[in-house]
Amino acid sequence: MSAVAVDAPSKQDLVERAEALKPLLSRNAAEAEETRRIPDETIAAVKEAGLFKLMTPRRFGGYEVPFDTKLAVSAKLAEACGSTAWVVTLTNVCGWMVGLSCDQAQQDIWGANPDARVCGVLAPTSQTRREGAGLRVTGRWGYASGSLHSDWAVLGVPVVDEAGEPVDQGLALIPMSDLAIEDTWFVAGMKGTGSNTLVAQDVFVPDHRIVSVPAAINNQYPTEHTGEAVYRSSFIPALALVLAGPQVGMARAAVDLVIEKAPKRQIAYTIFTRQTDSPAFQLQVSDAAMLADTALLHVERAARDIDETAARGEVMDYVARARVRADTGWAIRKAREAIDTAISANGASSFADVSPLQRLWRDANTAGRHAVVLPSVNQEVYGKALLGIAYEDNITPLI
């Protein structure tokens, strides 16, 4: 049974809710790193603020916000804790993928529990066999961010026929109660995301809980609720772009931290008793701020393209989709450059264990290497699209 539909809060209201959480997230960030999971106190606060249901349909009591709003919220959370922002980002976008599914699948997930959270891994690192109106799935999926706090997972699977021949690639919705979590997330950055490995052993998944990936790439979704604009959004552009939200927030946080410290810090082995008096420091701060702004502007343009196209009920053309991937990679590159520049301006003390700057640097450089957002790959994709040779020499179907 669906929850009572609610009116979605405004973008400003949701960003303000995220802002109000920042002191708690900052206080718990070190614990998240040490324990390699988001503290329960943080999860409860994010849930209370409604920020886990940004992309849950209003039919189930969610907010069903456009991507522009979702990105703004994740960026604001990342100003305090990159790991928390990443988990909130991935949980919400996996919820969005559930919203693309047929109504029966959505009822399976949210009918009994409108607050159900979903994690996911798209790579089809599994084996399947056909059993009646469904698949038996066995596999392992790495880097399942948010899996420690989720009720369901959406996982890549090969879709096979009765003879065992592959006929499609799918995303299967599987309850976490049918999966094991293998503790494998030992990394330099984004330690708190708990992006461990999910394991399935001969789990049955009915066909109605499997979405075709090739069809989704072409904006063909099973949902019967075609009037809900956000669930018409272009598949790969949306999945890629959301990963840039936390990067923008971390870049902004690094610049703000350096500016805050500058009047109280000297530049060692120089005449400057305050960093603010140094023209070289001033130029570095300006560069860092502009780089962070550049990242934000590319993210906002891409989100606007996704949201406005979906609102019109249209499908993004190939070049537009490729540009969103390029925008995503470019934004993440500029966010990392902003953090590097800010840290260089601040000095070697940025890497003290007690400094949040070193965590921002590690988190941004870890998350910024996600395979879908690599700037060099995304620029090649866009360049081929602009030159009209993408179909002759396509390096990825994920566009």
Angle, in degrees to the nearest 10, between helices 40-48 and 82-100: 50
Please report the pLDDT score of residue 3 as a whole number.
64
Encoding tokens for residue 387?
């030159």
In the DSSP assignment, the letter for residue 395 is S
The answer to whether 333 touches 373, Cβ cutoff 8 Å, is no
Residues 266 and 175 in one domain: no
User: Residue 173: beta bridge partners?
Assistant: 154
Residues 239 and 376 in one domain: yes
Residue 370 lies in a domain: yes
Which of these, 222, 238, 233, 239, lies nearest to 309 by C-alpha position?
233
Please report the pLDDT score of residue 319 as a whole number.
96
Residue 222 lies in a domain: no
Strand blocks (E) in the chain: 118-121, 126-130, 134-144, 152-160, 166-175, 180-182, 196-206, 210-212
Residues 202 and 59 in one domain: no
Q: Which residue has the tokens 């503790």?
A: 183
Please report the pLDDT score of residue 91 as a whole number.
98
Please report the pLDDT score of residue 7 as a whole number.
80
Residues 266 and 336 in one domain: yes
Last residue of a domain, one of 116, 149, 167: 116
Give the integer Cα–Cα distance in Å for 353 and 182. Answer: 28
For 182-187, which contacts have Cβ atoms below 8 Å and span 24 or more sequence positions? 182/140, 184/142, 185/36, 185/143, 186/36, 187/366
Q: Quote the domain boundaries for residue 188.
A: 118-213
Encoding tokens for residue 7?
């009116």
Q: List the strands of the sheet with 196-206, edge to edge.
A: 126-130, 134-144, 196-206, 180-182
Residues 26 and 40 in one domain: yes
- The domain spanning residue 147 has which CATH number? 2.40.110.10
Residue 398 lies in a domain: no
Residues 142 and 240 in one domain: no
- The domain spanning residue 336 has which CATH number? 1.20.140.10
Last residue of a domain, one of 116, 147, 182: 116
The answer to whether 276 touches 262, Cβ cutoff 8 Å, is yes
Please report the pLDDT score of residue 2 as a whole number.
53
The alpha-carbon radius of gyration of the chain (Å, integer) is 21
Burial class (CB in 10 A: 0-12, 13-18, 19+), 165: exposed
| Tally of helices (H runs) and strands (E runs) in the chain | 12, 8
Residues 194 and 266 in one domain: no
Residue 393 lies in a domain: no
Cα angle 160, 152, 185 (rounded to 5 degrees) comes to 95
Give the integer Cα–Cα distance in Å for 287 and 281. Answer: 10
Residues 199 and 134 in one domain: yes
Q: Which residue has the tokens 């990963």?
A: 243
Cβ neighbors of 230 (< 8 A, separation 6 or more) are: 55, 64, 65, 66, 67, 96, 99, 307, 310
Residues 265 and 363 in one domain: yes
Residues 107 and 127 in one domain: no
Phi, psi of 62 (to 5 degrees): -85, -175
Q: If DSSP codes are grouped into helix, strand and coil, which group holds residue 211?
A: strand
Q: Characterize the bridge pairing of strands 210-212 and 180-182.
A: unpaired
Per-residue tens of pLDDT for the chain, all 399 residues: 456 676 889 999 999 999 999 999 999 999 999 999 999 999 999 999 999 999 999 999 999 999 999 999 999 999 999 999 999 999 999 999 999 999 999 999 999 899 999 999 999 999 999 999 999 999 999 999 999 999 999 999 999 999 999 999 999 999 999 999 999 999 999 999 999 999 999 999 999 999 999 999 999 999 999 999 999 999 999 999 999 999 999 999 999 999 999 999 999 989 999 999 999 999 999 999 999 999 999 999 999 999 999 999 999 999 999 999 999 999 999 999 999 999 999 999 999 999 999 999 999 999 998 888 888 999 999 999 999 997 777 889 999
Residue 328 lies in a domain: yes
Q: If DSSP states are collapsed to H, E and C, what string results for 220-277?
A: CCCCCCCCCHHHHCCHHHHHHHCCHHHHHHHHHHHHHHHHHHHHHCCCCCCCCCCHHH
Q: If DSSP codes are grouped into helix, strand and coil, which group holds residue 181?
A: strand
Please report the pLDDT score of residue 1 as a whole number.
47
Count of the separate structural domains present in the chain: 3
pTM of the predicted model, to two decimals?
0.96
Residue 221 lies in a domain: no
Please report the pLDDT score of residue 206 as a whole number.
98
Residues 95 and 208 in one domain: no
The answer to whether 339 touches 251, Cβ cutoff 8 Å, is yes
Give the integer Cα–Cα distance in Å for 52 and 95. Answer: 9
Last residue of a domain, one of 116, 144, 171: 116
Residues 251 and 371 in one domain: yes
| Residues 64, 67, 73, 77, CA torsion sign | positive
Cβ neighbors of 293 (< 8 A, separation 6 or more) are: none
Host H or E run for residue 72 = helix 67-78
Residue 363 lies in a domain: yes
- The domain spanning residue 52 has which CATH number? 1.10.540.10
Residue 230 lies in a domain: no
